[in-house]
Amino acid sequence: MGKLLIKGATVITMENHDSVFDGGEIAVEGQNIVSAGPAGSAPEGFDPDRTIDASGMVALPGFVNTHTHAAMTLLRSYADDLPLMKWLEEKIWPLEARLEAEDIYWGTMLCCLEMIRSGTTSFADMYFFMDQVALAVEKAGMRASLSRGMIGVGPEAQQALDYGPEFVGRWHGQAGGRITVRLGPHAPYTCPPDYLKKVIEMAGKLGVGIHIHLAETRTEVEDMLKNYGKTPIQLVESLGLFELPVLAAHCVHLDERDMEILAAKKAIVAHNPESNMKLASGIAPVTALLKAGVAVGLGTDGAASNNNLDMMEEMRSAALLQKVSTMDPLALPSFQALGMATAGGAGAMGLEGQLGLLKKGCKADLILLDAKKPHFFPRNDWMAHIVYAAQSSDVDTVIIDGNVVMEGRKVLTIDEDEVYQQVQSRAERLTK
């Protein structure tokens, strides 16, 4: 197993607000961190194959993007400034119906390129042609939890069910363990209870979790109450969904009981502040969720409703939104916001306690930021610098599963020019 030593960086381990070590070091063996802390903290006799001089840089855990539709990068800026249902029904869904398998590969590759360049090391994705997504993830060297979006009311309802066991068999635990699979029933308003029950039963048999959109809009909640007499969360709970590991995207419109269920059942909420703002869905009650003991990660959602995949922006938006919506400047302080972007999403990868922290035994998914930038001076509080001042272009080096994937802002796993050329010609075909 390869041994890597990163020396001289300001190491932010994220164990607590004060675990920041100037001139620190990180020792990596194979896929795991063996130590992270001040200079001299590497184990005695640690003999690295390679040493990275990271003087002038800041090391922190890679970002975990807990909710994406990766290949929707192909639809970026195709339709904007529209109401959600009009956006979906008149623009997004008709174009998606024309997507071919290879489009998904290149759209996902563009997504991976953008994520790596902005410091994201893992993501939870829901889309279709998921074998293409898995191939792109494998090539890009990223970590991902992949789900085929299942629509129970459409012509592909049965096909989506049949695909479940096949996709799990082909990809769960593959790419050296970097790829895991969940089943992805899209939402309660596209998957009626009978269909959801089939998905839940299948996931139980396959031993995998669920990735689903829940309580995204007020209309969704009103419709579920009208049709079933229950909120979306309480409806899926009554069907047994929360007996499985659940990654629930959005959770914008919740009542007290909904939050109790999410906490008691240890669901992970994917908070997507910029998508929720752009589609005017509302502001998720993140402060209340965290107070209730719910694990909350951050996500970008698809690039068509964001319109980028920049987790630093999400982190800042999340913090600022909680402050302004609760009229409390103490809401979601910097350590908590950075925690949501990192360890908060670990459970979405099935790696709770093993991802999003720089400490012994955790996966070696980490990033180095070039800190010789005006917005990082003076050096008062690194946590505040990262959350309120950092830019994704500060990311210099990205390491995933112990492998250097970007160095000096050059992505080593992806041919950038090939991606741009493929994506541009495919988008032209799709939108003409």
Contacts to Ni ion by CB under 5 A? 301
Closest CB to Ni ion among 279 and 405? 279
Closest CB to Ni ion among 164 and 302? 302
Min dist. Cβ of residue 153 to Ni ion (A): 17
Measured CA distances, 43 to 35, 48, 63, 342, 372 (Å):
7, 11, 26, 25, 29
Min dist. Cβ of residue 184 to Ni ion (A): 10
Closest CB to Ni ion among 103 and 301? 301
Minimal CB distance to Ni ion: which residue? 301
Element (H, E) at 295: strand 295-298
Min dist. Cβ of residue 68 to Ni ion (A): 8
Closest CB to Ni ion among 302 and 402? 302
Min dist. Cβ of residue 92 to Ni ion (A): 11
Closest CB to Ni ion among 189 and 382? 189
Q: Are 373 and 58 in contact (CB under 8 A)?
A: no
| Residue 76 tokens, joined | 């970026």
| Residue 369 tokens, joined | 């930021």
Q: Strand 120-127 and strand 50-53: pairing?
A: unpaired
Min dist. Cβ of residue 180 to Ni ion (A): 19
Residues sharing a CB contact under 8 Å with residue 338, sequence separation 6 or more, in sequence order: 14, 60, 315, 383, 386, 387
Q: Strand 395-400 and strand 20-29: pairing?
A: unpaired
In DSSP terms, 214 is beta-bridged to: 250
In DSSP terms, 257 is beta-bridged to: none
Closest CB to Ni ion among 250 and 385? 250
Min dist. Cβ of residue 299 to Ni ion (A): 8
77 vs 156: CA distance, rounded Å: 27
State the Cα torsion 254-290-398-377 to the nearest 10°: 120
Cα angle value 121/404/379 (rounded, 5°): 70
Min dist. Cβ of residue 276 to Ni ion (A): 10
Closest CB to Ni ion among 317 and 403? 317
